């Protein structure tokens, strides 16, 4: 069984695999976004083949740029920290999401070829890959915005109207990173309720130009909850590697090269400075 033609991006001569799913709590989300920017540059310059990176971060809330404009952001961040979460601001759009040890993140990095990769083509490739990974259960997945979920978007992945994943894209230096977070197990509604409380505390019913989501925890669930099967990050990772192997001639396990490490350090510095500016400005305000 091959993926549909819309997902031909998944069929590559060779996939470079960077697995960072088991690095533990000391692996910070700021590093992840800097790594994906680094890989975008490498793949964009054809110094690297198409790359699949898997990553897990423990108890982390990733905010989008719009979230930094919340009127009482510092109160919301303080609440999240009191619940035991690290809080970072990513270098791209979207809104707040929850990452923890039961959330698997996958980044697929492609070269943005001469004619360019259409935005929907990147999203569709990830959607088809996830469907393929889940086998017979893949047919149950819908891609549409789930109103009431956190970080809602047109490529929310859901089963029976309950969201378990969200897809985003970042385009940089000739590369395209298609990123997904998959709530594999645990309580989707508890994660959603955490973000609901964050927005309540950060808004305090104040009217804002931007319309932040009104979160209904019942709109979110994990894959394990939805499929009533025992799924783990490790099991889903195995399904991913199997799917990629079946759509390429070989998988190449890898880490960052020496040259990429230098670019990564520069990108990480940008991420650190971005976060310091956001939280310093808010605290001074």
**Residue 183 bears catalytic tag:** no
* Active-site residue (options: 151, 165, 183, 226): 151
- Residues 145-161: b if buried by 16+ CB within 10 A, e if exposed: ebebbbbbbebbbbbee
Q: Give the number of other Cβ atoms within 10 Å of residue 93's Cβ.
A: 13
Block residue for tokens 């979460």: 85
| Separation between Cα atoms, residue 11 and residue 29, nearest integer Å | 29
Tokens of 24: 């533990």
Exposure of 278 in the CB half-sphere (CA atoms within 13 A): 24
| Sequence-separated (6 or more) residues with CB below 8 Å from residue 183 | 102, 103, 164, 165, 191, 220, 221, 222, 223
| Separation between Cα atoms, residue 251 and residue 52, nearest integer Å | 10
Catalogue the active-site residues: 151
């Amino acid at each position: 069984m091959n993926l549909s033609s819309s997902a031909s991006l998944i069929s590559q001569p060779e996939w470079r695999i960077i697995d960072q799913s088991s690095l533990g709590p000391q692996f910070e989300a700021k590093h992840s976004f800097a790594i994906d920017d680094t890989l975008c540059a490498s793949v964009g310059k054809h110094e690297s083949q198409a790359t699949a990176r898997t990553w897990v971060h423990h108890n982390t809330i990733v905010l989008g740029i719009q979230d930094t404009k919340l009127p009482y952001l510092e109160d919301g961040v303080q609440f999240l920290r009191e619940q035991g979460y690290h809080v970072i601001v990513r270098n791209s759009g979207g809104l707040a999401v929850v990452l923890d040890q039961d959330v698997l993140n996958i980044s697929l990095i492609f070269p943005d070829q001469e004619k360019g990769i259409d935005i929907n083509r990147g999203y569709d490739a990830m959607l088809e890959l996830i469907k393929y990974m889940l086998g017979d259960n893949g047919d149950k997945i819908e891609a549409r915005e789930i109103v009431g979920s956190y970080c809602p978007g047109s490529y929310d992945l859901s089963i029976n109207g309950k969201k378990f994943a969200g897809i985003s894209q970042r385009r940089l230096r000739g590369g395209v990173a298609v990123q997904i977070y998959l709530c594999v197990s645990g309580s989707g509604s508890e994660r959603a309720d955490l973000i609901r409380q964050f927005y309540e505390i950060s808004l305090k019913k104040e009217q804002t130009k931007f319309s932040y989501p009104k979160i209904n925890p019942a709109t979110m669930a994990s894959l394990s909850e939805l499929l009533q099967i025992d799924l783990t990050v490790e099991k889903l990772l195995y399904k991913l590697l199997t799917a990629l192997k079946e759509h390429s001639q070989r998988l190449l396990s890898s880490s960052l090269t020496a040259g990429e490490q230098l670019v990564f350090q520069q990108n990480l510095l940008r991420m650190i400075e971005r976060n310091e500016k956001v939280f310093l400005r808010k605290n001074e305000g």
